[in-house]
A and B are shown apart, each in its own frame.
Chain A
């Protein structure tokens, strides 16, 4: 299924709760990314990692955290500090630096209840 797996597909969060979105790839890609998709706003970068044990903030990192302990895995935690977390979250990977397109996961739809 494209080599990059996101889980769960749907996630419901209560107010004040932290939740973690999973992203796993078996493409041997070095770089991994998290984007948030809201209607009419395209894809906005949350965090990215170009190598294990290193990651950088994107444009909308506040209220989110990540880790990159393994090359294959790049989980995203949505913390209670994120005031408007309801969105579609997409994980992507690419082979590394340079001019290569992304492979996207199938996404996680997060809803606050």
Chain B
């Protein structure tokens, strides 16, 4: 069955960096676009970034553009989110999620991980 398992969250000081990982299993990872979505405590969902299935494109929310970088390593079935220059308002649970259709873009998200909490605080 499809599984997405995030890791790498924790407490980090403002201005520092953190890298999140999302280990995928149960499907052909290289065939699916992969996303990061975050949720600040008690708040709604905020889409963060996408890496297309073939790695040809990536897009970011304005709030993280220039600070976060999404990448994927198909040999390890793993998605990453490199987060630099972290700010207090980046505090959130970060979910990885999969596009619902393979070999395409522009589809909703059908499988989600359980999330990993990032807390930015001094």
Does B associate with A? no
The chain A residues found within 8 Å of chain B, CB to CB, are none
The chain B residues found within 8 Å of chain A, CB to CB, are none
